Amino acid sequence: MKLKILSVAVLISVSVLGVQGMSGQKGSFKVAGKCGMCETRIENAALSVRGVESADWDKESGIVELEYNAKKADLEKIQKAISTAGHDTELYTSNDKVYEKLPECCKYDRVEAKSSGCCPASSSKAACGSSKAACGSSKAACGSSKESTGCEK
């Protein structure tokens, strides 16, 4: 009898662990941002994704640390949501129009060349010059030589 109770208890705890196994998945990635307002925006965007349990963005490092249910959410989805809110992530670039609407204090330096609209992620960065500076400063030049540089605009 005692053994039976024990095995039932074991069974219950195993199934509870099984369900929670997908919860509390940890992950982090870099998000561009500048101030406390960015922090709120970034964290809210992350939390808006179903399955995200906690989000903590650090202003200094630019790293957002997350806990989420891996059955419902994944890092890609979360990055996408944050980029939609106006902040560039490692995988996704925010829409220029959304970025422009951010308050002045939140206008962070756009992430790498791929986010400048000069070098789309699809084309090779190399095609647009290997240095970030070259790409950023030649946005105007890119416009006139779309074909040769592989630039977006």
Interacting residues with Cu ion (CB under 5 A): 34-35, 37-38, 106
User: What letter would DSSP give residue 62?
Assistant: -
DSSP string, 87-100: --BSS-PPPHHHHH
Least distance from Cu ion to the Cβ atom of residue 80, Å: 20
Q: How far is the CB of 33 from Cu ion (least distance, A)?
A: 6
Distance of closest approach, residue 107 Cβ to Cu ion, in angstroms? 8
- Which residues lie closer than 8 Å to 59 by C-beta, 6 or more apart? 33, 34, 35, 36, 38, 39
Paired tokens of 15: 């199934």
Task: Using the minimum distance from each CB to Cu ion, give the nearer residue, 31 or 151.
Answer: 31
Question: Is 30 within 8 Å of 89 (Cβ atoms)?
Answer: yes
Residue with Cβ nearer Cu ion (34 or 132): 34
3-state class (DSSP) for residue 82: helix
Cβ-proximal residue to Cu ion, closest one: 106
Output 8 or 37, the one with its CB closest to Cu ion.
37
The distance of closest approach from Cβ of residue 45 to Cu ion in the complex, given in angstroms and rounded to an integer, is 13
Strands 25-30 and 63-68, by their bridges, are antiparallel
Q: Which is nearer to Cu ion, 8 or 35 (CB)?
A: 35
